[in-house]
Amino acid sequence: MRFARRNCFEQIEPLLGRVEHPSRYLNHEWGAQEQQDGPFHVCLLYADVYEVGQPNLGLSILYNEVNAQEGMSCERAYLPWVDMSALMRERDIPLLSLETSSPVASFDLVGITLAHELVCTNIVETLDLAQITIRAEEREQDEPIVIAGGPSVWNCEPVAPMFDAVLLGDGEGALVEIAACVRDARAQDVPRHELLMRLSRIAGVYVPSLYEIVCDETSTRWGYAVPKPGSGAPEVVYKRCVESLARTEPVAQRIVPYMGVVQDRFALEILRGCARACRFCQAGMTYRPVRERPKDQIVEAVERGLCESGFDECSLSSLSTTDHSQCAPILRELGERLDDRGVRVSIPSQRLDSFGVDMASIVGSSRKAGLTFAPEAGTQRLRDVINKNVTDEDLDRAAQNAFACGYRRMKLYFMMGLPTEDDNDVEGISSTATHVVELGREQLGPRSKVSVSISVAVFVPKSHTPFQWAGQLPLEEVHRRQQLMLHAATNRAVRISYHDAETSQIEGVLSKMGRRGFDLVMEAWRCGCRFDAWTDQFSFERWQQAAQAVGIDLEDVACESFPLDARLPWDHTSPGVSKGYLQREWRRAMRQETTHDCTRDTCVGCGVCPTLDVGNDLAETRA
């Protein structure tokens, strides 16, 4: 190996007094795994600072699973903040793991989480700081195998040249299988190319170097990927899917950080997948089918997790927590068991049409913080277009229930720039918020301190959704609609925040490009782009400079719409949802027709269950 495995903390320790938040770089947190002496070493890397990556539930699940294997050890690494990175480069200190302060480049396997599109330049920064060759095709035999996984793998083409392999879908079981494949190949001293071919035979593993890009009259400007002759790689790589959540370990978060982190609470995944079929939502398509954890397992795991971690808050995590078939009984039992401990149970994802009086009163029995709902659109017409399947009556009922339980603050999430949106829809965002304020004052009194805050994101078309063919709004039009919304808000009890249009455009560009987009990512990093998800670090001017250098017009890319029959840059990877289903949903959206939830009604023909040979838990429960 170009780096020997050894503890290099003595190199980092003198720098701790010179950087912000030195606890980001300390090891031996409570609950961290004692490292085995086994011969195979995995490093899971989150390409953001410690306090953002540490509470990531997916990383925690895989960390525990690998460490449970005989002869394998797993450590974590995070991207240092800009002050520490500068000092490390100045002293030629490579990126180190947290547990043993070993060079990341000394590990056999490095797994990087693709958390969102704006992490692209951070991944370049991470590999460069680790002194791992950035382009996978240029790596030497003894360098680590670098893989990607996570929620944003579904168009990984703009970053694909950095990865030896990409894991699609659920990581449980799959990461251990990948690690065993790499271990065995290394023990046999097989060439790196042969190792990658072996990885491509593992279900759910996409190896970018085994595919070539073709541009023709059937494709977009970015082309499409096909297996290279003789590679043996599949034409379409389908995701890995855990069939039963009940058979997985529920308590994943066992490490207590030294510092405050985002989502500083004990989190428990109670439900995976969502079949509501919102047409803008990538997670709703890529996490199918719905699998729920049993009620008794959840209650026991919450008590155990709180006891082991010492947190005073528990979050029941999922894409749509109140869709759990036993949500109300779970909340009641947890309330009874935790009532005298000062523990708050939160349900972060509350749907308007499933948040009834019962659940409002249960959650409301703890601290009266604010509640968050997501109408997404300001009018019923547009909610039908996006298949939100939420009515004005649902919103009224949910708000009245919440206010009746003593809540005085509410947050509403909306999107701007959805397909077919017009000015009436934009003004409807402000009028909806004002209407909720009025409902609160009717319930609590005309002088009550009711407040409603709304957060408005810019719609970004995402791969493997019915809206993947849509274009994004031009910047000038986003700014105009944001001003229109602000002028329509006349009630002082309504507070409005909205996402930065320029940041959303970069997200849209990275969501839409093919493999040639890697040139833009690399040039943006050379121009100084990193931590692009941080408002104080993002620079649109640098991205414009990078785009000009590689001959790309950012707005032209983001605003481009694709023909329904075009071969797309991501068609060779699949979460199991068929392209025909997505095309049907696009046409239904243009007709303002809604599609029902298959867990509450008949199958909608999305293709996931037969393609992946799995079933919908909730559909079976309610049958």
Structure confidence by residue, pLDDT tens digits, 72-115: 999 999 999 999 999 999 999 999 999 999 999 999 999 999 99
Reply yes or no on whether the pLDDT at 559 is more than 60: yes
> What's the CA gap between 580 and 585, in Å, rounded?
9
Check pLDDT > 90 for residue 362.
no
Q: Which fold has domain 1-240+514-592?
A: Rossmann fold (3.40.50)
| 569-605: b (≥16 Cβ within 10 Å) or e | bbbbbbbbbebebbebbbebbeeeeebebbbeeeeee
Q: Residue 600: what pLDDT? A: 87
With a pLDDT cut of 70, the percent of the chain lying above it is: 96
Determine the Cα–Cα distance for residues 135 and 155; give it in Å rounded to an integer: 18
- In this structure, are residues 169 and 204 in contact, taking their beta carbons and an 8 Å threshold? yes
Domain 245-513 has CATH 3.80.30.20: yes
Q: What do you get for the CA distance between the two ends of the chain, in Å?
A: 56
Domain boundaries, the chain: 1-240+514-592, 245-513
> What's the pTM?
0.95
1-240+514-592 and 245-513: identical CATH topology: no
Q: Hey, what amino acid is at 130? A: A
Closest CA relative to residue 466, chosen from 385, 543, 370: 385
Q: Give the tens place of pLDDT for each residue, 563-602.
A: 999 999 999 999 999 999 999 999 999 999 999 999 989 9
Q: Please, what is the average pLDDT of the chain?
A: 93
Q: At what angle do helices 501-512 and 540-550 cross, to 10 degrees?
A: 40
136-153 average pLDDT score = 97
Instruction: Write down the pLDDT at residue 349.
Output: 63
pLDDT of res. 339: 81
**Mean predicted confidence (pLDDT) in 281-297:** 96
- Region 441-455: what's the mean pLDDT? 91
> 7 versus 549: which is more confidently predicted?
549
Q: What pLDDT, in 10s, does the model give residues 385-398?
A: 999 999 999 999 98
Please report the pLDDT score of residue 260 as a whole number: 93
